[in-house]
Structure 1
Amino acid sequence: MRFLVSGHLEYTVAFPSTLILNIHAQRNSGQTILDEKFEVTPYVKFEEFVLENASSRFVRLETGKKKALTIDYHATVECTHEVISASKLDFTPVAEMDRKAIPYLFPSRYCQSDRLGRLAWDLFGKIPNPYEKVIAIVDWIHANVEYLRGSTNSETSAYDTVTQRTGVCRDFAHLGISLCRALNIPSRYFSGYAYHLQPPDFHACFESYIGGRWLVFDATRLAPLNGLVRIGTGRDAADAAVASCFGRVELVSMQVDCQLAPDQKFTPLERKQLGRKGISLEAHSNVTPTN
C-alpha cells in the first residue's frame, strides 16, 4: 500500500539552539521510501543520522541566529503488512527470546511496568494465549481510559494514566506497553503517520513481541492498523519524540497529513475486522506480505 505523508512544523527561536527531529519515515523490511523531500526555511545547517542498532531517522539542525524556522517533510512510502492467526503465535519464554527483544522487557521512564505488575497479573494473568492476553489489555484500556485531548502533558507516565483514567494516544501506548512488560511480553513504542486519523496528527501506538514477531496494537482505535507509516520505535516516547529542543525553541504551528496514493485502494483492518488475527508491519521471509 502506497501512502503520501507530510509534516509541516513552524518554530520561533529565542537564541541559537539545536533541534533534533524525528519525522522521517523509516526505511525497514516493511517500508520502502519511493521519494522524499526535507526542507528547512530559511536554510540552516543540518544532518541526518541513524543510531546504532536502530532504524529511526533523526535530523539534527542548528538554528544559528534565525528567529523563525519552517520545517517541511514530504514522502511517498510503500508499506506492507502481514495478517497472522493468533493460533500460530505461541508464548516465547525469556530464555528463548531474540536478544534484540530483551530491552523491551524492562521498565522505562514512561512505562513503569514494575509498578503495574500486580494490576496486570490480577486482570490478565490467567489468559493463556499471549495474543489474546494483549488483546484483552488493549480492550481494557479502551474501555477504562477516556481519550481526551489536552488532558496530559510530556511528564505523564503510564502509572499516571491508570490513576487519572484519561489520556491521548501517547498515554494509551505507554499503558499498553507497561501492562505487557509486566506480563513478560516485550513491547515497544511506535510513532508514525496514520491514514484516516482525525484530526490529522502524529500518532502513537505500540508493538508486542509474540511468537517471534512484532505485532502492532492501538488501544485508541482511532486509525486502522494497516494504515500506519512508521517513524519512530523505542522503549517509550523519550526514544521517539517528534522534536527534542536544546535551547529555547517554541512550536507555533504544526500540520500533519497521511493520504492514500491516487492509484491505491484501501480496505481498513480494525479490531472488529481482524477477530483472532494480528498484524505485523515487518516483512517476514516465510510469509507473503499483504499489500
Structure 2
Amino acid sequence: MQYTVGCTLEYAVPSPSVFVFNVAASNTVFQTVEYETLRFSPDLPVDGWVEPETGARYHRVDVQGPHLSLHYEATVTLEPTVRDPALIAPIPPADIPLQDLFYVVPSRYCQSDQLMRLAYREFGRAPRTFEQPRRIAEWIHANVDYLVGTTTPLTSAFDIATSRAGVCRDFAHLGIAFCRALNIPARFVSCYAYDLWPRDFHAVFEAKLGDRWYLFDPTRQASPGGFVRIGAGRDAADVSFASIFGPARMTHMAVHAEAGDAESDRAPKEWKEFAVSSA
C-alpha cells in the first residue's frame, strides 16, 4: 500500500535558534520511502542523522532569523505483517532480549513504577499474550477522554491516570507505562496517520511480543494499517517533531496523509482488530 504524506511548519525566529526536526518518514523492513523532498526557507545547511535501531531521522538547522519554514513531502510504501492475535506467542521476562530492557524501565513521561498497582489490578490476570496490551489499549479508550487543550508538554502518564483526559501523546504514554509495569517492552511511535481527522501528527505505542513489535492506538481514531512511521523511542522526548534551542515559536502547521492507490484507501479500516507489526 502506498501513501503520500507530509507537513509544512512555519516559525517566527526573533533571535538565533537551533532546530532539530523529526518529520521524515523512516525506512524500515516494512516501510520504504520511494520519493521525498525536504525544503527549508531560507535555504540553510542541514545536518542529518539516522538512529540505527529505530530508523528515526533527524535534521538540524541553525537559524539566525527572522523566520523559518519547512516543507516535507514523501511517497511511502507500507508492507506491514498482519497476524492473527491468537497466534502470537508470549514472551516471559527471563527471555526479553537485553537490548529491549531499555523499553521496560520507567522513563521521563512513562512512570511505570508509579502505576504498577493499577496495572496489575486492571490487567494482571489477562493472558500474557497479545491480549494484555490489547486490553490496556481498550481500557484507555474507555476510561480516558480525548480532550484537546487539557494537557501540556509536561504532562506524564501518571498525570493522565489521575486526570483521565488528554490527547494521542498522553494516551500513548499511559499505554507504555502500563505495559512496562507488567514487564512488557513498550515504546512511543510518532507517525502520519492516513485515516486520522483532523490531520495532525499522530502518536501511538507498540509492545514487544515474541520477536516482533505490535502497534496499538488507544485513541481508536486511526488504523495501524495506515500508519506511516516517523520515529520511535522511550517516550515523546525522543521523537518530538521539533526540538527548539532558542526563542523561536511556531506560527503555522499543516499535516497531510493521502492514499496513493485504491488498495490503500480500503485496507486500513479492515485491520483494526488484527495485530499489525511494523518494526
1:259 aligns with 2:258: yes
User: Aligned partner of 2:182: which letter?
Assistant: L
Tell me, in whole angstroms, the C-alpha distance in 2 between the residues paired with 1:193 and 1:118: 34
Please give the residue correspondences for 1:49-198 in structure 2 after superposition, counting only pairs within 5 Å. 49-64=49-64, 66-198=65-197
| Counterpart position of 1:287 | none
Tell me, in whole angstroms, the C-alpha distance in 2 between the residues paired with 1:265 and 1:122: 39
Tell me, in whole angstroms, the C-alpha distance in 2 between the residues paired with 1:165 and 1:260: 33
- From 267, 276, 279, the counterpart of 2:276: 279
Q: TM-score, normalised by structure 2?
A: 0.96
1:33 aligns with 2:29: no
How far apart are 1:107 and its partner, in Å? 0.3
Q: TM-score, normalised by structure 1?
A: 0.92
How far apart are 1:206 and its partner, in Å? 0.4
Identical counterparts, % of pairs: 42
Do the aligned partners of 1:224 and 1:269 also contact (CA within 8 Å) in 2? yes
Aligned residues: 279
Map Cα deviations across residues 19-76 of structure 1 (whole Å, 9 max, x no partner): 0000000011111111100000111221111235441000000002x20111000000
| Counterpart position of 1:22 | 22
Cα distance change, pair 260–189 in 1 and its aligned pair in 2 (3 A):
same
Do the aligned partners of 2:224 and 2:272 also contact (CA within 8 Å) in 1? no
Q: Which runs of 4 or more aligned residues in structure 1 lie more than 3 Å from their structure 2 counterparts after TM superposition?
A: 51-54, 262-265, 272-275
How large is the RMSD of aligned CA atoms in angstroms? 1.4
Do the aligned partners of 1:88 and 1:211 also contact (CA within 8 Å) in 2? no
Name the SS of the counterpart of 2:140 in structure 1.
Answer: helix
Map Cα deviations across residues 180-216 of structure 1 (whole Å, 9 max, x no partner): 1000110000001000111000000000001221000
How far apart are 1:274 and its partner, in Å? 4.7
Gaps (5+ residues) in structure 1?
Answer: 283-291
Map Cα deviations across residues 126-151 of structure 1 (whole Å, 9 max, x no partner): 11242111111111100110000111
Do the aligned partners of 1:35 and 1:77 also contact (CA within 8 Å) in 2? yes
Cα distance change, pair 114–71 in 1 and its aligned pair in 2 (3 A):
same
